[in-house]
Structure 1
Amino acid sequence: MADRPTAGRVRRVLAATDRRLDLLVDAGLRWVRTRRAAWWFLDVLFVAAALADAVLDISGATTLETVLSLVAAAALLLRRRFPVLAFALTVPGLFVGSAVVAASVALFTLGERTDRRWLMLLAALVQFVGFGGFVGPPQSPGEIVVSVVYALIFALGPLAVGLLVQTRARLTGQLVEVHRAREDERRQAAAVALSRERALLAREMHDVVSHQVTLIAVQAGAMQMAGRDEAERGFARTIRQLCVVTLQELREMVQVLRASGGTDRQIAPQPVLADLPRLIAESGLETRATVDLPDTLAQPLQRAVYRFVQEGLTNVRKHAPDATVRVSGRVSAGHVLVDVVNGPARAERLELPGSGLGLIGLGERTSLLGGSMDSGPQPDDGFALHLRLPVGHLQPTAPA
């Protein structure tokens, strides 16, 4: 009875040891797979093994045998560029000297780097004959059997390992190609999905938003005709003009969305600095503008400044009605600096829907141009937007 607990403990210890050894071997294999040795290190290792094979058998060898063995070892330095020549240089040492290691490495290289099957079989046959010692003094039947077995091992073993390495490299390349093809398919599927989403968004913008803006424009036109005084007709005229501009930009946006995804088509016409006075005048806000920016700024910078001021004025109209606004722009230390600062609201805030994406879009546009944008409340219950963009390059002025 006492032997049973002891046997159980022994089995548990053996099982635990077996698991630890498996984990250790797996960790070692993962380390080997993830850390490939440098090519020159492997060549040095092979040449050193071939030299050791020749040196260990150099006692009692003739000068010819020693020279042929050393030549066979040195021939391994050519195995990567000239595998056939390297094997051919090891053959004399295999038959006459001591070049078993060198010939085996050269045969492995043939299997790894050559596609000609007849050449591999011929090299394996030469290795078989040279290692078997069939060229030389006669052997007894027992010695012949042993020589044949070892000769087969040393002839087929290196060749099989070389073919295995070559097959593994080809399979790895095919897997890489399959992975690349799948990535291309994913990208194409994503592009198709994006194109469909753009088409759906274009339809919604055209059928819903465009219709509603058109109705606003019609109502504003009617209000302009039936206005009781010039101020009321002026407000209606401004609303109608803004609706017309919005419809034009919306139409261009729909055209861009319906275009094929990934094209470089741009919305036209693009706003520039010269359009800022009209934008500020149509805002209906009490605005003090001191914009001193050259019209030779690059077009992306001019568009970014325009959209920045446009978003700032829109936010003031929505969140701080009748507030005074200060818009300033200048170039300083190689950067375009633009500020939109408003005071506190002087009228009841309009309950207009907002997505919160305006400032996010401005931040993305600014980041693409390598600039920065800051926003935050002011001590007097106002709000401020600050834009900073690198000047980059100036556009060439048109010839007179």
Structure 2
Amino acid sequence: MKRGDMVKRSVRLLRALPRTLREDLLTTGAGPKGGHGQPRWLDWRPVITVPLVMAAVGLLVANTNLYAFRFGAGVDLGILFAGAQAAALVAVLYRPVPAWWASVIVTVLVTPFAAHAVPRPEEFARLGPAAFSGPAAPEVYPWNPTCVAVQAGVMFLLALRVRPRAGAGALAVTAVVGIACGATVSWNLGPGSVSSLAVLAVATTLGTALRSLAMTRTRLVVQEELTAEERARRTLLEERSRIARELHDVVAHHMSVISIQAQVVPHLVDNPSDELRENVEGIRRNAVDALTELRRVLGVLRSEDPSPPRAARHAPQPTLDQLDELIGNARTAGLAVTATTTGQRRPLSPGVELSAFRIVQEALSNAIRHAPGAPVRVEVGHQPDGVMVRVTNTAPARPAPPARGEGHGLLGMRERTAMLGGELAAGPTPDGGFDVTAILPALPAAEPTRPADPAEDPR
């Protein structure tokens, strides 16, 4: 930033200072609520009020004796002034700025009484310091211990509740009022003014620091929540893209078959009519166009990921026929797997075959990562209206290594099941293991209802 710009900015800040102080110090608001911008322990204000009231009662008694008898204000005014200061010490928890103003005003109102009780400088010089020592020594107002304790408590709690600039403005006003009152009463008897102002400054700084720390923690929590939501959303989109890439091959196969069959139809009919040829050609053309669009969409989806090997890109999608090979690979990796198949094998749609295989594959991978040494049971049940796959493992034989990154396993299972209109149940078992059960219909539902985005599971 150039020097000229810095000067202009400083001038703007100085011009705006009166308006800023007016906005900060002439408000009756209760301050932030719900832990925003203040330490969380201030949410327990009813509990904090109890010890604060006890401290206020002690200061009330001390200041009443000071104002009523030593300053000669009388019992009534002494109780009134001391009570207002003690009440401000408690009320600052609920109405910080008005309570602070009350303590400042009381300081000004007590000053005339303190001025008559404190010897003037010429009298002090004439009689000497010895005449004003011991119990007869006058109080140094407003820097006597009880008044400083009230002001420090009010400033500390005020700084916890308001913005830093408001706390700084309140400290400046308090210091100016205190110095003016001290000069009016007995400037020569005020050697403790510097240390008293230091106490007020430390109290304000501590309150501001605690408030800033609370605000930082609040922002951090909010940012972590937003990050977690964004991560869950990104994980969901990545899983859906992966499922779309896999199902593309299935759909593309069917579209290719439709295109070829449409070309063959005219050759299977004797003397096909022009209308038949036109309709069949339309079917073939639409199938080719759809296949082209599918390839274009697949290119967009795959362009977001690192390019896999060419053989992997064009490999056929697996089905339940490759389940034995998958289980064999898991056993080679050290997993004790037992597999059972029930029911009569029926033809399933390619999407159901692929999803069932992927669910078993993901469940076995989860068992390897999160349940080392635990035996796993894989069940495939063929039913008249679909297929049921279940993968169950017992409690792990040894602690699992810490997971790296966020898991996609259960999220992908739920997405595949919801896409086909099936049902998925996954969760821990009473013996400490984990169970995944998916029921997939033989044919996808016409319009399956997609559930709400599931939360990420550590598995």
TM range (shorter): 0.3 to 0.5
TM-score (norm: length of structure 2)? 0.36
